[in-house]
Amino acid sequence: MEEKPPLFSERAKGNTTKVVLLYCLFFVIMKIVAGFQGYDWGLNLLIALPFFIILMLGYWLYTTHKINWTFLLISILAMAAIHYFEADFVAYYTQVN
C-alpha cells in the first residue's frame, strides 16, 4: 500500500482548509470593524465580498466532506490577488466616488 506524502494527506488538506476559512472570517470581521470605525462601508464590504464567498463556499465544502485541493489553490491565489491589488482598487474607488 502506497502512502501519500504528509503534505498531501487528508489531514493536511483539512488543516489547510481550516486556516483558509479562519483567515477569511478574520478578514471579513476586520472589514466590518473598519466600517464601524468610520471608513467607507461600500468599499470595505466590496473588498470583503470575495472573502465572504470563499468562506461560505469553503464552509459548505468542509461540512459536506467534499473539499479538494483545487478549491484550496484557487482560494489562496484569489486571496493573494485581492491583497496585491487592494491598494490600486481603493485608489480607483476613491477617484470614481
CB 75 within 8 A of CB 58: yes
Separation of alpha carbons 18 and 88, rounded Å: 29
Write down the domain spans for the chain. Answer: 12-96
Q: Rounded to a whole number, what is the distance in angstroms from the first to the last CA of the chain?
A: 61
Over residues 27-44, the pLDDT tens digits come to 999 999 999 999 999 999
Q: What type of residue sits at position 74?
A: I
Lookup result for grid cell 463556499: 57
Q: What is the pLDDT of residues 76-87, one digit of tens each?
A: 999 999 999 999
Residue 1 pLDDT class (50, 70, 90 cuts): low
| pTM reported for the whole predicted model | 0.88
State the amino acid at position 59 in one-letter form.
Answer: Y
